[in-house]
Chains A and B, each alone.
Chain A
Amino acid sequence: MLGDDLWTFEIEEGAFDSSLLPPDSRTPNTPEYHQAVRGFLERNLATAAGWFQVTVEDNKVRATWKSSASAPRPIDEIIKMLSDGRYAEAIQLLRMLLPSRPTDPVIHFNLGMALSDVGDFAGAGQHLATAVELDPELTNARVALGVCSAREGNWEDAAHHLQFAIEQEPTNGYALRNLGACFTQLNRLNEAENCFRQSVVALPQDQRCWLGLGDVLDRLGRGQEADVAYRAAIDVNPFNDLSEMARAARRKIAEQTLHMSGHERLREDAVAGCVAALQRFSTMSPEQVRAVAFEIAALGTKGINPYGPEARYRLRTLDGEFTGMPALCLMYVGLQQTAPEMDMQFDLAEEYTRAKQLFEQVRTRQ
């Protein structure tokens, strides 16, 4: 509404609030200080003004700018900054907006979220509580309040906030996911499973939902179901840290399962897989066998599910398509034959021994 109003303010260098600057640029009358002050003012004016000019010289800080109806909406810019991980800048801007909008729940919500992300839980809790007070229907602020409590380790408080959020919005996937995590921490595993199962329906593309479900199922001793959840997490995005966590969890389950089978009973599918591998390798050179084993080992870092008949793997070094267990057996047998010193992190020794016996029997008959 002010259109092209021109504004100017000038202060002594020493009057500038140096806490707004990076810690290594707070000494007045240094080039770093001048640059940091200029940068701070320019960044802020870029989000709120039209034309602007900033100078820091002769012991004076001077900013001149024009108001502009076409300047970007600060809150949009701030949300973009937050999604880019530029927390410090976003927090400064939100604090600038706060005096003029003390009753705007969106400002308190975003400031609370940002403070929570940088570890200022007390400040975050205050702003998130204010956001909820100002707009009781702002469910995401309740969720954020729950997350903030959880980050402080106050699981009961966190669960309380999140349950309230779910009462308001039963399909809020983030509330469900975080409540699932709280219940897991509180060892209320059946309730956790229930939350995570609802969360993956609400947010099927959220890896954390699937990981949480996998973790709680694993703790409930339902490894095969957990494995399915972990695979779903990997399918969402195979190339990030979360999928690596899912792979590690799957390897652990596979190891435990195979280890258990060694003590309790032989896995017939593993025995059959090893026999098939022995047959294939019997007509191949050691180098070819080693190449197959190593290719599968490399594939293994992206996750091979020994129990998923639907997952199929193609190899460059061997014709055909393989499901999880046969592929794993090819690797195991191949490495036993060409690189037995390698640690495979799972044990098919008894299945392999049994397979060799069967293979010899067949060969003797022939």
Chain B
Amino acid sequence: MPLLPATHEILKRTEELTGRPVYVTEDPSLSILATMQTARGTAPMHTIRYRPTSNAMSDYFICWQCGFLIRLFSNPPSERLEFAGAPDADQRVKALYAHGGASEPDEAIAQFLATNILTQLRSYPIGLRIDDWLFAEFPELRQAQIHGARVQLQDNLAALNSPGRAMSPELIVSANTAMNAAFAAYWARSLADESLMLPYQSIGALKAGSRLMEIFHYCDTSPTADRPLVDLWAHELGLAGWYEWKQYTLE
């Protein structure tokens, strides 16, 4: 697949900054739009896998994933911290079921819910910083970026009526909805389309989304502030303690 010049530029910048190559590959089996494995130890390169869509949209997802690496490596080595689920994250999910009077879910479901909500907690706030950067500095990617946002917004709207919503613990549902509302708010502003907020207003999620966006706007935008940004969102969503920050090293 031929990549856009902007994508080449961002890949080059990523490789220079991290000192490791970035391997990009299609993966039609992916359930999400793109994923990245960061180089470390026996993994000598960063690997970005993406679900093939239109070419331009793939460029956006590749660049967006590179954005996480660029932000991580923009910090001095001692402040390069990686986000990881706490060892008891699955247990916390099970406890939520028990607290709600429901029967305990099996291990796979608990792990799935914990992984999903924590991935969203890390990727939404930092991802929006990356979107700011791409939007401002790479006009060439803008159409793809908007297209990608639209896909995510549609997926989020569909989730409002998904059966999984009714079966998940209240804390997980409310955290997911609040982050989706914040995501919609970000794009409502960028695209000057306030109608995107209406679904979240209709289900009473406006205030929670609003709080997250206030935090997003008032936090420092530098990569060193990514950790406090995620921590503040977590605190607001009741997810403090569900994850850890670990020192990142290439070895």
Contact = CB atoms under 8 A, between A and B. Distances in A.
Contact of A102 (B160, B190, B204, B213): B213
Contact of A96 (B161, B197, B217): B197
B167 interface: no
B203 A48 contact: no
A53 interface: no
Contacts of A8: 157
A275 interface: no
A103 B201 contact: no
A97 B194 contact: yes
Interface string B173-195: 00000000110111111111111
Nearest to A95: B206
Interface in B193-218: 193-204, 206, 209-210, 213-214, 217
B198 A48 contact: yes
A129 to B, nearest CB: 14
B213 to A, nearest CB: 5
Main secondary structure, interface of A, reads mixed
A101 interface: yes
A17 interface: yes
Contacts of B182: 99
B201 A95 contact: yes
A65 interface: yes
Contacts of B210: 98-99, 102
B119 interface: no
A40 B198 CA distance: 10
Given A17-B202, A101-B189, A102-B217, A7 B196 contact: yes
A10 B161 contact: yes
Nearest to B159: A9
B195 A99 contact: no
Nearest to A98: B210
B59 to A, nearest CB: 18
A100 to B, nearest CB: 4
A106 to B, nearest CB: 13
A349 B145 CA distance: 88
Interface in A1-47: 1-2, 5, 7-12, 15-17, 19-20, 40-41, 44-45, 47
Contacts of B195: 7, 44-45, 48-49, 65, 67, 71
A317 interface: no
B51 to A, nearest CB: 21
Nearest to B154: A7
B157 to A, nearest CB: 5
B150 A2 contact: yes
B191 A2 contact: yes
Contacts of B213: 99-100, 102
A130 to B, nearest CB: 10
B177 to A, nearest CB: 10
Interface residues of B, number: 36
Given A8-B157, A11-B160, A99 B217 contact: no
A133 B197 CA distance: 25
Contact of B194 (A1, A41, A96): A96
B33 interface: no
A100 B203 contact: no
Interface in A95-116: 95-103
A17 B161 contact: no
A40 B210 CA distance: 20
A277 to B, nearest CB: 68
B34 interface: no
B144 interface: no
Nearest to A12: B161
A2 B146 contact: yes
Contact of B202 (A7, A20, A67): A20
Contacts of A65: 195
Contact of B188 (A5, A16, A100): A100
Contact of A15 (B203, B206, B209): B203
B146 A103 contact: no
A40 B214 CA distance: 26
B194 A74 contact: yes
A47 to B, nearest CB: 8
A312 to B, nearest CB: 57
A65 to B, nearest CB: 6
Interface in A101-160: 101-103
16 contacts: A1-B146, A1-B190, A7-B157, A9-B161, A9-B198, A11-B160, A41-B202, A45-B198, A48-B198, A65-B195, A67-B195, A74-B194, A99-B206, A99-B210, A99-B213, A100-B194
| 3 A-B pairs closest in CB distance | A17-B204, A99-B185, A100-B188
Interface of B: 146, 150, 153-154, 157, 160-161, 181-182, 184-204, 206, 209-210, 213-214, 217
Given A63-B199, A100-B196, 18 more contacts: A1-B190, A2-B146, A11-B203, A16-B203, A20-B204, A45-B195, A61-B202, A67-B191, A67-B193, A92-B201, A95-B206, A98-B210, A99-B188, A99-B206, A99-B209, A99-B210, A102-B217, A103-B217
